[in-house]
């Protein structure tokens, strides 16, 4: 009997290995050199291409998909080398009950205790849409409804309490889950309603799911009113920024500072690729988020800021001087994201010919072996 199990296990393992594939190393190449919303649009093209719409039931176990077991592969509490580790017991990794450094209040075995009715935490788990279904049900709920990059297994009771509330920082909680996720009044300037705050451990995971959603569906959520803010308070009704100012500020902070990408999330991205054939670009390339939503911040957060001198700026002359210590690639973009010129400067050759540059504002993107930086150039 044991032998039979071993052989079956081996066959299943070999079968999954055969059909699994990695996110290709050149997957994002066509986005090279882009910045701002043009970068977001190109990422949308990249991650829409090849995205296979799955059935709702397949999320739980990948039934019928070669090389994927759905949530079993993306959300299991198993140790990951180089990633955040918890209990290593193979149970459902649920953002609302996992206590990262303590015994969990309850656990779910994959395939058991799916909701169903719930009346308290620990009764059953279901499929939570981090971007609520009410935000896109009006036109077409697929492929959003079954998109594993933003649909997660979570406790039914907590999911119910979260409802369609936006994510945010809670000032005063009116309800707290057993792992200390909170619902309550907003503690953020710019929003005064009720918000839901996950624990720090998963704030970045959730932020990246929302950034992914905004990118993947930038023109398809609603036919005429993209990202309608009457249905989800984090949206501002536009297809470029997508989020309100307070929301994008919060998401970038959770993504960049509070809970950056780790190896566990990279593996989840690979498993999601096996499930549906596309990837979350903000897990693969965390820098994309700031490049899209806050490109000017790159110049103030970068270490080469002091080492690069750019002058004159503003300029009406024939040459722009970029003083650097290392050979540096300089690329100039207009405000629509089109590349105007690209050249390399070094210590001996610091001048760039800008005689043909018309008046206006440009974005200068600089990159060398140590860092990258973005500057604004004003041509008089």
For residues 107 and 350, which CB has a smaller minimum distance to Ca ion in the complex? 107
- With beta carbons less than 8 A apart as the criterion, state whether 10 and 2 touch: no
For residues 159 and 244, which CB has a smaller minimum distance to Ca ion in the complex? 159
For residues 95 and 333, which CB has a smaller minimum distance to Ca ion in the complex? 95
- With beta carbons less than 8 A apart as the criterion, state whether 345 and 322 touch: yes
Q: What is the x/- site pattern for Ca ion, positions 148-187, by CB under 5 A? A: ----------------------------------------
Q: What is the x/- site pattern for Ca ion, positions 235-274, by CB under 5 A? A: ------------------------x---------------
Q: Summarize the chain as % helix, strand, coil (round to 5).
A: 30, 20, 50
- Closest approach of Cβ 13 to Ca ion, in Å? 24
For the chain, how many residues are written? 380
For residues 100 and 237, which CB has a smaller minimum distance to Ca ion in the complex? 100
**Closest of 282, 283, 264, 276 to residue 59, by C-alpha:** 276
Q: What is the x/- site pattern for Ca ion, positions 53-72, by CB under 5 A? A: --------------------
Figure out which of the listed residues 73, 128, 155, 205 binds Ca ion, where binding follows CB under 5 A: 205
Secondary structure in 3-state letters for 203-224: HHHHHHHHHHHHHHCCCCCCCC
- Closest approach of Cβ 102 to Ca ion, in Å? 6
Give the H or E element holding residue 150. none
CA–CA dist 312, 322 (Å, integer): 9
For residues 209 and 214, which CB has a smaller minimum distance to Ca ion in the complex? 209
For residues 51 and 99, which CB has a smaller minimum distance to Ca ion in the complex? 99
Indicate the SS3 state at residue 340: strand
Total residues binding Ca ion (CB under 5 A): 9
- Closest approach of Cβ 269 to Ca ion, in Å? 12
Name the one range near Ca ion by CB under 5 A: 55-63, 166-174, 196-204, 334-342.
Answer: 196-204
For residues 106 and 321, which CB has a smaller minimum distance to Ca ion in the complex? 106
CA–CA dist 372, 298 (Å, integer): 8
Indicate whether 73 belongs to the interface with Ca ion (CB under 5 A): no
CA–CA dist 114, 70 (Å, integer): 14
Give, as ranges, the residues between 78 and 97 that touch Ca ion (CB under 5 A): 86-87
Name the one range near Ca ion by CB under 5 A: 110-118, 128-136, 201-209, 357-365.
Answer: 201-209
Give, as ranges, the residues between 97 and 116 that touch Ca ion (CB under 5 A): 98-99, 104
For residues 77 and 267, which CB has a smaller minimum distance to Ca ion in the complex? 77
- Closest approach of Cβ 94 to Ca ion, in Å? 8
- Closest approach of Cβ 202 to Ca ion, in Å? 5
For residues 98 and 218, which CB has a smaller minimum distance to Ca ion in the complex? 98
Figure out which of the listed residues 77, 147, 218, 267 binds Ca ion, where binding follows CB under 5 A: 77
- Closest approach of Cβ 82 to Ca ion, in Å? 13
Across the chain, which distance is largest between two alpha carbons, in Å? 83
- Give Cα 269 distance to the centre of its chain: 10
Q: Tokens 């395939």 — which residue?
A: 111
- Give Cα 367 distance to the centre of its chain: 24
- Closest approach of Cβ 250 to Ca ion, in Å? 16
Q: What are 251's two structure tokens?
A: 């998401």
CA–CA dist 124, 108 (Å, integer): 8
- Closest approach of Cβ 156 to Ca ion, in Å? 17
- In terms of C-beta distances under 8 Å and separation of at least 24 residues, what long-range contacts does 59-66 make, across chains too? 59/127, 59/146, 59/148, 59/151, 59/153, 60/110, 60/111, 60/114, 60/127, 60/153, 61/110, 61/111, 62/275, 65/274, 65/275, 66/15, 66/16, 66/19
For residues 87 and 334, which CB has a smaller minimum distance to Ca ion in the complex? 87
- Closest approach of Cβ 239 to Ca ion, in Å? 28
Q: What are 187's two structure tokens?
A: 């503690």
* Binding positions for Ca ion, rule: CB under 5 A: 77, 86-87, 98-99, 104, 204-205, 259
């Amino acid at each position: 009997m044991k032998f039979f199990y071993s052989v079956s296990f081996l066959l299943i393992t070999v079968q999954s290995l055969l059909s699994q594939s990695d996110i290709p190393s050149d997957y994002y190449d066509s986005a090279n050199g882009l910045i701002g919303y043009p970068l977001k649009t190109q990422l949308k093209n990249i991650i829409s291409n090849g995205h296979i719409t799955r059935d709702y039931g397949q999320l739980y176990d990948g039934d019928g998909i070669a090389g994927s077991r759905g949530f079993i592969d993306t959300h299991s509490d198993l140790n990951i080398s180089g990633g955040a580790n918890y209990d290593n017991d193979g149970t459902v990794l649920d953002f609302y009950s996992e206590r990262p450094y303590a015994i969990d209040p309850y656990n779910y075995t994959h395939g058991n205790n799916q909701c169903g009715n719930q009346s308290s935490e620990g009764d059953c788990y279901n499929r939570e849409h981090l971007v609520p279904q009410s935000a896109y049900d009006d036109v077409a709920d697929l492929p959003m409804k079954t998109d594993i990059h933003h649909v997660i297994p979570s406790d039914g009771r907590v999911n119910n309490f979260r409802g369609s509330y936006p994510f945010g920082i809670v000032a005063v909680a009116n309800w707290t889950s057993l792992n200390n996720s909170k619902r309550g009044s907003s503690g953020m300037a710019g929003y005064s309603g009720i918000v839901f705050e996950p624990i720090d451990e998963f704030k970045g995971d959730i932020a990246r799911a929302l950034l992914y959603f905004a990118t993947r569906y930038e023109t398809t959520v609603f036919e005429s009113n993209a990202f309608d803010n009457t249905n989800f308070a984090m949206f501002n009704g536009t297809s470029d920024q997508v989020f309100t100012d307070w929301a994008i500020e919060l998401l970038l902070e959770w993504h960049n500072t509070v809970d950056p990408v780790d190896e566990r999330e990279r593996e989840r991205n690979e498993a999601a690729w096996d499930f549906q054939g596309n990837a979350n670009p903000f897990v693969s390339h965390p820098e994309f988020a700031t490049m899209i939503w806050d490109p000017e911040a790159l110049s103030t957060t970068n270490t080469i800021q002091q080492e690069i001198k750019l002058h004159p700026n503003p300029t009406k002359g024939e040459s722009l001087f970029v003083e650097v210590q290392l050979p540096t690639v300089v690329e100039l973009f207009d405000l629509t994201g089109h590349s105007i010129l690209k050249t390399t400067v070094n210590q001996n050759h610091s001048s760039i010919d800008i005689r043909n540059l018309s008046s206006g504002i440009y974005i200068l993107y600089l990159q060398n072996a140590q860092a990258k930086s973005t500057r604004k150039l004003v041509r008089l």
